[in-house]
Amino acid sequence: MPYNLNISTMLERAETLYPKKQIVSRTLDQIHRLTYREVGERTRRLSSALKSLGVEKGDRVGTIGSNHHRHLEAYFAIPGLGAIVHTINIKFSSRHLVNMINHAEDKVLLVDEEMLPQIEKIKDQLPKVKAYIVMSDSKKLPDSTLNPLFSYEGLLEGGDGNFQFVKDLDEYSPAGLCYTFSSSGTLKGVVYTHRGVVLHSLVVGLGETLALTEADVCMPIVPMFHVNAWGLPYAATWFGTTQVLPGPNFTPEILADLMSKERVTVAASVPTVWLGLLMVLEKGLHDATSLRAAISGGSAVPVSLIAAYDKLGIPLCQAYGMTETTPLVTVSRLKSYQEELPVEERIMFRAKQGILAPGLEMKIVGPQGKVLWDGQERGELLLRGPWVAGEYYRDDDSNGVFKDGWLHTGDIASIDEEGFIQLMDRTKDLIKSGGEWISPVELENAILELEGVLEVAVVAVPSQEWGERPVACVVLKDGYRDQLKQKDILEPIAEKFPDWWLPDEVLFMDELPRTIAGKFLKAKLKEQVIKYLNR
Amino acid sequence: MPYNLNISTMLERAETLYPKKQIVSRTLDQIHRLTYREVGERTRRLSSALKSLGVEKGDRVGTIGSNHHRHLEAYFAIPGLGAIVHTINIKFSSRHLVNMINHAEDKVLLVDEEMLPQIEKIKDQLPKVKAYIVMSDSKKLPDSTLNPLFSYEGLLEGGDGNFQFVKDLDEYSPAGLCYTFSSSGTLKGVVYTHRGVVLHSLVVGLGETLALTEADVCMPIVPMFHVNAWGLPYAATWFGTTQVLPGPNFTPEILADLMSKERVTVAASVPTVWLGLLMVLEKGLHDATSLRAAISGGSAVPVSLIAAYDKLGIPLCQAYGMTETTPLVTVSRLKSYQEELPVEERIMFRAKQGILAPGLEMKIVGPQGKVLWDGQERGELLLRGPWVAGEYYRDDDSNGVFKDGWLHTGDIASIDEEGFIQLMDRTKDLIKSGGEWISPVELENAILELEGVLEVAVVAVPSQEWGERPVACVVLKDGYRDQLKQKDILEPIAEKFPDWWLPDEVLFMDELPRTIAGKFLKAKLKEQVIKYLNR
């Protein structure tokens, strides 16, 4: 019988089967503990309040917030109306914020109190926004130039706790929207459908992938404006999993504290956050042994980081995906017979991005067509499947990202005979020197193995002779600052690479510019380096 | 991007990512060990051979076989052509076989060698069947009156190992067909779509339900003609799980032997098979400790059976479903906080049918509307969801089974405050005595608790005064035969029930008639009892 998958059924399951299970939500004021019954009722109140504000089926409602229970309620309340939750990355520039909000034509914006100033700055450029809602613990409205402005908790008070979610929706109806810089480098919107979110949630629950269950305590550290926090809040709600939402302005100490006190079993973030946490956990003051999966994505994980977590008894598990893929594509989970391998071989597999999730199709296409499964040959990773986007939102020109029914990821990958995918670089990040490719990721991995190196990013700078040349930007660990010179970096790695791969310069820096998600801002770094070197 | 779920992608994943993993298949001659690479190639050969025989998109191809690798290949080869695999229950009467095969209009029949005589008997009544294929280890054709008759292995030899499966299929295309006696008591066909099978397989892999993964060794004891062996062969193939297929005419000893030698981790069958296995395992000659889930479905599991398996360190896990639901509906898996309960309370929950799987919707409707979640009030279980049938195959009159978008299961259930569903009876099995309902299942459960009782079935016999009256048919354990009398059964249970619930008679029998799936044939038993009592 034709049956439309619908996000609201996921929350309804939690309300009825797991009404006593908890969402633990850190805000600036306090730690909130709400049950799924309470979150369900509050979500219904929010849906009815948004409806009263004029939100209709198909409308976009923007959210500008950190990871907390109100953001989770918005995840369900907005699609529960048949509308689209547009999660906005607050770390984008004012110009990009204006572009996104106007391109999406957001009718209402939900904004964390501490983020109001950024929105006040651009409010006059947002003609389509009809109402603002401030997300804070208080019903009292703050001083603000936004108008009309409502308080979230005030609206909920007037809402209907028995509101019935919209059910007559085709499963291909849009439910979410997230903008990203596509592999072509321009800002594009990716739409998530009810069908895609439901299927992706099933896959996140597979024993084969993340195995998220009711018995877990799940902490998405990855921001909720970043591909739905990798889909974890949706899946966790469906399964009745306890959720720990770490809120705004967290530090590694705050995270370690939450992990230890709430007995978190699954947490998800990027390598740099895991690196920061490692420093705290290695002090031995927090007990994070409840963690059965430290999921890392967003960029490649160095072997050394996996090994360091192994020492703490915490399995660091790599996953790969992108905004266009909802996001789960691969998980680096050893096959049963690989568990018999020596530890060094196991860790080499675990340091790859892993095996394609059930439900997706892939091919890796190099200059000579499909690459061999030899772990060596390289090509661009192409994907398709039920949670892979087929187009950008209101955008006719996908710049070749969608072609012949495949998403062209822009990621250069190899695949070994066990089917483990390894990402080498983004096509746009590769350095073209003398007509040949240099892989910054491989240089970075080699430099990261050196004693005293905390972080490294290799960027391309223009060269009259070669087109582009690599430059390494290195942050040293405390105790090593000013102790290492350029030759201490280049000499030990020289034998691993052709001469012409070695960076022209090694610049020692105090820190590297990053996105809120913790990824290096390579474009910004490149600008700084070019200016500094005067190239 | 619209993307059609397709069963062939599941096999393709196993071929490419798990080519070395094995299918262990017991036939009458030997134990076969094939890899997924080999099974994939053989499946493609079978597809191409069937195509050469004239099988086209939408055609039905029947299978009459036990659980072995050829049957598994047919599971993929037939939908891989866009055709429909019609799994036929060989234990049905000749009349029913003829009705099913003609109603389905099977174009080709694949038949196990040892089942040829049953088909030869009815061949003249099967005008639509264009070809027969005998499934056996030999390429040599047996003596048979079937015509034209091909050997499976001979056909494969001439087939194309690189055959490409059909991809341009709407995901709602039919892939499978299975006949069952509907709750109205008549034989009906249930269609499984590509979409339904793929989604059901995802749900079987959820950590929340059966958590089937690559690391498992899965033995479906439940026949492959019975709701696709509960969907396990499809899911197991997708995840690259090792499969152990126990073949024809197995005994509890053969099963225990396979479990022990192949280190089976997940096996699935009905309570009577688990009971037979228990007798063997309790002798301590087989090591079945690898079993992490003994999945039991088809009828309710007595508490005593769960407790007996607990003693062996084997978790017996109840699941519930039906032919119309692909079949998984509920799994009796404790919630994390229920693990803290005393053992007696835990076992009471585990003896219920469990919690609704993610993705389905249910309601339980009694005479006063939806029942309370109090574990007491009863009503009929109604279901809907993406792997729940909406109609019977080529059948306009569903006898009220499909109504208002819901499947009316005909099962009477209660639901407790934790959301655990407990089935009381089939509506058609309830005994109507003096205008009131008597539950045979409750009487059976009480009698099963008595010392010396091996099995019991309570059936209704006609009564002039009351309409119907219950009669208990009891099989005693060895050592208790002829030792117990009617009063030894009725007196200990008297205080648990109203007077008028107690059976009029207790008949001691050597065995109870059963289906091939191990369920009691209550209709047949009732006939025997009526004849014996001369009512």
Complete domains list, chain A, with CATH: 7-194 (3.40.50.12780), 431-533 (3.30.300.30)
Å from B394 to nearest chain A CA?
14
Q: How far is CA B175 from CA A115, B167, B408, in A?
A: 53, 13, 23
| Among the partner residues B9, B199, B405, nearest to A361 by beta-carbon distance | B9
> pTM for this one?
0.88
Q: Please, are residues B277 and B250 in contact by the beta-carbon 8 Å criterion?
A: no
Alpha carbon distance B69, B246 (integer Å)? 10
**In sequence order, what E strands does B255-332 have?**
266-269, 293-296, 316-321, 328-331
Alpha carbon distance B124, B101 (integer Å)? 12
Q: Please, are residues A79 and A8 in contact by the beta-carbon 8 Å criterion?
A: yes
Alpha carbon distance A366, A414 (integer Å)? 10
* Whether the predicted pLDDT of B125 surpasses 80: yes
% of chain B surpassing 70 pLDDT:
97
Give me the pLDDT at residue B502, please.
93
- A432 is an active site residue: yes
Handedness of CA B365, B366, B370, B372 (dihedral sign): negative
Pick from A431, A430, A436, A412: nearest CA to A422: A412
Q: What is the pLDDT of residues B321-367, one digit of tens each?
A: 999 999 999 999 999 999 999 999 999 999 999 999 999 999 999 88
Q: Determine how many CB atoms are found less than 10 A away from the CB of residue A277.
A: 26
Q: Tokens at residue A459, please?
A: 């960027």
- Helix, strand, coil % in chain B, rounded to nearest 5: 35, 25, 40
Scanning the structure block, which residue is given the tokens 């998220």?
A212
Contacts of B238 in chain A (CB under 8 A): 358
Scanning the structure block, which residue is given the tokens 């983004």?
A426
Give me the pLDDT at residue B516, please.
61
Question: Is B240 part of the contact surface with chain A (CB cutoff 8 Å)?
Answer: yes
Alpha carbon distance B473, B456 (integer Å)? 6
Give me the pLDDT at residue B74, please.
98
Contacts of A491 (CB under 8 A, 6+ apart): none
- Using DSSP bridges, classify how beta strands A174-181 and A187-193 pair: parallel, antiparallel or unpaired: antiparallel
Q: Please, are residues B500 and B519 in contact by the beta-carbon 8 Å criterion?
A: no
Give me the pLDDT at residue B465, please.
79
Q: Which residues of chain A have pLDDT under 70?
A: 1, 183-185, 425-428, 435-437, 515-519
Q: Note whether B208 contacts A214, CB cutoff 8 Å.
A: yes
Length of chain B: 535
* Whether the predicted pLDDT of B518 surpasses 90: no
Q: What is the pLDDT of residues B305-320, one digit of tens each?
A: 999 999 999 999 999 9
Structural element, H or E, at residue B408: strand B406-415
Catalytic residue among A324, A380, A444, A455: A324
Contacts of A385 in chain B (CB under 8 A): 3
Contacts of A418 in chain B (CB under 8 A): 17
Give all strands of the β-sheet with B187-193 in edge-to-edge order: B149-151, B131-135, B106-112, B60-64, B84-87, B174-181, B187-193
| Among the partner residues A3, A205, A336, nearest to B385 by beta-carbon distance | A3
Task: Classify B84 as helix, strand or coil.
Answer: strand
Alpha carbon distance A147, A132 (integer Å)? 7
Q: Identify the band that residue B517 occupies on the pLDDT scale cut at 50, 70 and 90.
A: low
Q: A residues 408-437 near B, CB within 8 Å?
A: 418-419
Q: Please, are residues A357 and A235 in contact by the beta-carbon 8 Å criterion?
A: no
Average pLDDT, chain B: 93
The whole-number average pLDDT for the span B453-469 is: 88
Q: What is the pLDDT of residues B181-211, one digit of tens each?
A: 776 567 899 999 999 999 999 999 999 999 9
Alpha carbon distance B527, B529 (integer Å)? 5
Question: Is B2 part of the contact surface with chain A (CB cutoff 8 Å)?
Answer: yes
- B180 is an active site residue: yes
Alpha carbon distance B399, B406 (integer Å)? 13
Q: B residues 321-360 near A, CB within 8 Å?
A: 335-337, 355-356, 358-359
- At B348, the amino acid letter reads M
Give me the pLDDT at residue B184, please.
58
The whole-number average pLDDT for the span B156-169 is: 97
Question: Which comes out higher in pLDDT, residue B300 or A483?
Answer: A483
Nearest CA in chain B to A203: B202
Q: Please, are residues A72 and A98 in contact by the beta-carbon 8 Å criterion?
A: no
**What is the number of CB-based contacts under 8 A between chain A and chain B?**
117
Q: Please, are residues B127 and B13 in contact by the beta-carbon 8 Å criterion?
A: no
The burial of B247, by beta-carbon neighbours within 10 Å (0-12 exposed, 13-18 middle, 19 or more buried), is given as buried
Give me the pLDDT at residue B533, please.
87
DSSP A141-184: PPS-S-SSEEEHHHHHHHS-TTPPPP----TTSEEEEEEEE-TT
Alpha carbon distance B300, B445 (integer Å)? 9
Q: Determine the Cα angle at B431 with ends B426 and B433, to 5°.
A: 155
Q: How far is CA B402 from CA A6, B195, B362, in A?
A: 22, 20, 14
Alpha carbon distance A225, A221 (integer Å)? 11
Contacts of A338 in chain B (CB under 8 A): none
Alpha carbon distance A173, A161 (integer Å)? 25
Alpha carbon distance B533, B535 (integer Å)? 5
Q: How far is CA A141 from CA A154, A249, B376, in A?
A: 9, 22, 49
Pick from A338, A361, A220, A354: nearest CA to A300: A354
Give me the pLDDT at residue A132, please.
98
Contacts of B9 in chain A (CB under 8 A): 359, 361
- A283 is an active site residue: no
- B437 is an active site residue: yes
* Whether the predicted pLDDT of B41 surpasses 90: yes
- Using DSSP bridges, classify how beta strands B131-135 and B149-151 pair: parallel, antiparallel or unpaired: parallel
Task: Classify B344 as helix, strand or coil.
Answer: helix
Could you tell me the maximum CA-CA distance found in chain B, to the nearest angstrom? 70
Question: Which comes out higher in pLDDT, residue B532 or A165?
Answer: A165
Q: B residues 174-213 near A, CB within 8 Å?
A: 198-199, 201-203, 205-208, 211-213
Task: Classify A110 as helix, strand or coil.
Answer: strand
Alpha carbon distance B431, B495 (integer Å)? 20
Contacts of A212 in chain B (CB under 8 A): 207
Q: Determine how many CB atoms are found less than 10 A away from the CB of residue B144.
A: 16
The whole-number average pLDDT for the span B508-529 is: 82
